[in-house]
Amino acid sequence: MLGAFFLLVMPVHAGNSWLEKGTDSLKSFGLTEDKAAGSVTDAASGAGLSVDEIAAGLKEALRVGSENVVRQLSATDGFNTDKSIHIPLPENLSMVKTALDKVGYSSLTDDLELKLNRAAEAATPQAKKLFLDAISAMTFEDVQAIYKGADDAATQYFKEKMSPGLARVMEPVIDKSLSQVGAVQA
């Protein structure tokens, strides 16, 4: 129940920037495709790479990126001090926060906000398997779509592949994490 609440307040863009940076890096290598030969050539060296090598390289870059972001976000203050993914109190609590601030009890809402971010940090490692499964299931067509696609193509791929199971898998983890960090009391 509270896990569903948490999923609603957790920003969707939490992993977007690293995926986009990784995809941009791959695109910046100056590779050109020879469809007839089924290879890709590095413009600087002239060395040819097979389509399978490009696919394996992209999958490995996404795997390493996934592991790095999970490690970064699951560390203490991984969510709490990163302004781009910090989880604020939901807007529907803004009136409560304002009222408590006025009477000197802002620490209550500050503590709740910290606990929401701590719960996200505690729950993040569970997402690693979902990322790795999505990468393993990646087809040649998926790799091409990411490589040739928009700047957020990898992000869109992960949203499509992971969203259906993410809420189901993460809800009990988030509920447990919220309880462990003291955000929920019986």
Containing structural domain, residue 52: 2-180
Q: What is the pLDDT of residues 20-75, one digit of tens each?
A: 444 454 455 444 444 455 545 544 444 567 878 888 888 898 889 888 988 998 99
Q: Is residue 8 part of a domain?
A: yes
pLDDT at 148 over 50: yes
Give a yes or no: residue 186 inside a domain. Answer: no
Which pair of tokens denotes residue 12? 């969707």
* Residue 99 pLDDT: 92
> Is residue 134 domain-resident?
yes
pLDDT for residue 161? 87
Residue 185 is assigned to a structural domain of this protein: no
pLDDT at res. 31: 46
Instruction: Name the token pair of 96.
Output: 């409560």
- Per-residue pLDDT tens digits for 64-74: 988 898 899 89
Query: What region, left, alpha or beta, does residue 77 occupy, with left being phi > 0 and alpha being psi -120 to 50 degrees?
Result: left
State the total domains in the chain: 1
Rg (the chain; Cα; Å) = 20
Q: Can you give the pLDDT at residue 166? A: 76
